[in-house]
Structure 1
């Protein structure tokens, strides 16, 4: 293992896990509060702006972090990204206190930049382990999103009550939590070990395969081993984003309240994050391609379940949204594992950042497109299109090398 001790690896994993958990806590709570603030002040038609700001910030943050990592190293890049997130949370808090939309959106955009670095943490975790354990390593960091998915919504009501106690607008409370969470992430990142192996350290992995030539006519996403995981991850993001975005609208249009919406979305969040370690073990045992293809199949099954039970808020829809989340997780972990195995060390972080930027940009497209589909053909059309999208790439994704 060279000079990299087990203790150093454990410490690194703890820091990476904490950063993902804390950034997810910040973005979930802040994004929900900002959506309500914008809807109340500017109308429901503009309520999607905080989500767009977060997605664009995360995409730009992933692209920037992927470019800077080989030059400046893990610790500096993560500390800088999380520092921007702290600044963004402070700006968002000021916007929430003044109920001003522009600073609120700017703050969310900056928090998204830090979140982009947090998303790449799964690859940094994979680089700490040999190839046959990378799926489990990166899935452990993905599992950190479970903490944020649960803590973000759970802290909203107490935070709102605390803000009201200070005489502040109640929805500024989640913004205050975002300040504390992002500051915690930045502090944790400062404790990353100073001496860690460079990306792709040879003594932590089998002998590398000859790197595929990086042609100048296609950019990073045209390199060997990139197209298949990229197509799968974008498809999963589109399918999940479209169905998930319209499910609360579907429930409310049939007279269900926020309690039903919360229950269904909780099932979805559990599917997205809680079983990530299982996905990692599947990727290590049967290979990333099998994991990705299984995920696409589960996404198609989720869409079919939503189509069959579009108003069953206590049975069909929670099952559909759980499957939707877990199908996405299988594709996300499997695609990430494939990228961590096949890319040459000298281009790995740049390509991974580019892929994440494209995947996160797909979220914005899913959010916009799902609204048009729902308006044109209702929830059934959204589910059908999502299911077809999930199935289309399977022929393209059949592995040529058995991996």
Structure 2
């Protein structure tokens, strides 16, 4: 069996790198902008929340639209929305309009929902045995996006013609340029989609095979492992990552520089294992890789409970990133083995709703938990995510399907 990935996977990897710049840019600037122009201090992080909400509420619609018109058209539309979001955000900063900036975040979330489908598009181009490798390669582009997104703020002050725009708050001028650059990057992604990507044509018998009701598909034990590994992995990661800067800087007084270093290390740890996590799946299997992710999460929680010095946070966040990668890649690669090709959009929409709905709830509740109940309560609640994954791992202890043929009946 050929082990080389097709060129389409690397095309999708480049699209992921460009399209996912949206998230780190909004996460970096959203709270800062909100703190300056929100009508009340409690609403400062609402722009970030709107990005997460936009993703969570649109993932089902995005996947269903792909089923009707194909992935190519929706990928292009997602990039167009990302570009529009950048323009709207820049206008909001010029006007000093908080509601308009939140609207831009909501549109950005819809664009992210479309970009999250690149990993499934990559999986569809390879055999089931290479699904993990294809998914991990696309996720590896997150390293580029994590660097490029925040760097747009550095480059934003040098955008030609920016001097003609006078933001409501002068310190927001680099942000205006950054969002205009983001708009251009998304237009580039749209051009790449329209010129380089082609919808995958169904092989004989794939789409003509009768699609089962979702309730029937969900009766399989392995599909619950795929969905829960991805959803709980994302939920705990978002919960801990959102709460850590607040607890480090605002509660324990660690410097902003140290806090930034911990979060940057976490982001690198999220995506760097994609260099080998796909290979681990082919060698060890989906269940083992997901279990390794759960083990990394358990050690993360143990370290987080043992102290709140700088290196406690650093090790906990690095292990959190590694655990997320193993769980998310493992769950993503397992999902196609749990449904027929004709059922892929139906199953993917359910999976994405579970993943990003969980992320939204976790991220939006993190600040409330830290402020009202403290760090130990946050760590204790995070243990529930690991417990859920351990439960479905035990249920699937007798093994998992190794090909789509295993679920054909």
2:245 maps to which of 233, 243, 248: 248
- Structure 2 unpaired stretches of 5+: 401-409
Secondary structure in structure 2 of the residue aligned to 1:226: helix
Residues 83-138 of structure 1: per-residue CA shift (max 9 Å, x gap) = 12222221122112212111111112112112111111101101111111110011
1:194 corresponds to: 198
1:383 and 1:215, CA in 2 relative to 1: closer, same or farther beyond 3 A? same
Q: Answer yes or no: is the 8 Å Cα contact 2:60–2:350 preserved in 1.
A: yes
1:182 corresponds to: 186
1:255 and 1:212, CA in 2 relative to 1: closer, same or farther beyond 3 A? farther
1:280 corresponds to: 278
Residues 148-179 of structure 1: per-residue CA shift (max 9 Å, x gap) = 11111233233246597555432323212221
Q: How does 1:167-178 map to 2 (within 5 A)?
A: 167-168=166-167, 169-170=172-173, 171-178=175-182
For 2:221 and 2:236, how far apart are their aligned partners in 1?
25
Secondary structure in structure 2 of the residue aligned to 1:197: coil
Give aligned pairs, total.
386
Q: CA deviation at 1:45?
A: 1.2
1:152 maps to which of 144, 149, 154: 149
1:293 corresponds to: 291
Q: Answer yes or no: is the 8 Å Cα contact 2:217–2:339 preserved in 1.
A: no
Q: CA deviation at 1:222?
A: 5.4
Superposed CA RMSD in Å reads 2.6
Please state if 1:119 is matched with 2:116: yes
1:35 and 1:160, CA in 2 relative to 1: closer, same or farther beyond 3 A? farther
Please state if 1:93 is matched with 2:108: no
Residues 196-250 of structure 1: per-residue CA shift (max 9 Å, x gap) = 333xx479xxxx9xx897346x487556642222222222222111211111111
Q: How does 1:322-341 map to 2 (within 5 A)?
A: 322-341=318-337
TM-score normalised by the chain length of structure 2: 0.87
Q: Answer yes or no: is the 8 Å Cα contact 1:61–1:114 preserved in 2.
A: no
For 1:34 and 1:225, how far apart are their aligned partners in 2?
38
2:372 corresponds to: 376
1:220 and 1:355, CA in 2 relative to 1: closer, same or farther beyond 3 A? farther
1:262 corresponds to: 260
For 1:135 and 1:141, how far apart are their aligned partners in 2?
10
Q: Answer yes or no: is the 8 Å Cα contact 2:90–2:176 preserved in 1.
A: yes
- Structure 1 unpaired stretches of 5+: none
Q: Answer yes or no: is the 8 Å Cα contact 2:71–2:199 preserved in 1.
A: no
Please state if 1:27 is matched with 2:31: no
1:326 and 1:57, CA in 2 relative to 1: closer, same or farther beyond 3 A? same
For 2:336 and 2:275, how far apart are their aligned partners in 1?
16
Residues 262-302 of structure 1: per-residue CA shift (max 9 Å, x gap) = 10001110111111132111122222122112212211211
For 2:326 and 2:320, how far apart are their aligned partners in 1?
10
Q: CA deviation at 1:40?
A: 1.3
Q: CA deviation at 1:325?
A: 1.0
Q: Answer yes or no: is the 8 Å Cα contact 1:37–1:99 preserved in 2.
A: no
Secondary structure in structure 1 of the residue aligned to 2:117: helix
1:202 and 1:278, CA in 2 relative to 1: closer, same or farther beyond 3 A? farther
For 2:186 and 2:99, how far apart are their aligned partners in 1?
20
Residues 44-76 of structure 1: per-residue CA shift (max 9 Å, x gap) = 311221222111222234222211223322211
Please state if 1:226 is matched with 2:223: yes
Please state if 1:343 is matched with 2:339: yes
TM-score normalised by the chain length of structure 1: 0.88
Secondary structure in structure 2 of the residue aligned to 1:128: coil
Q: CA deviation at 1:19?
A: 1.9
Q: Answer yes or no: is the 8 Å Cα contact 2:64–2:346 preserved in 1.
A: yes
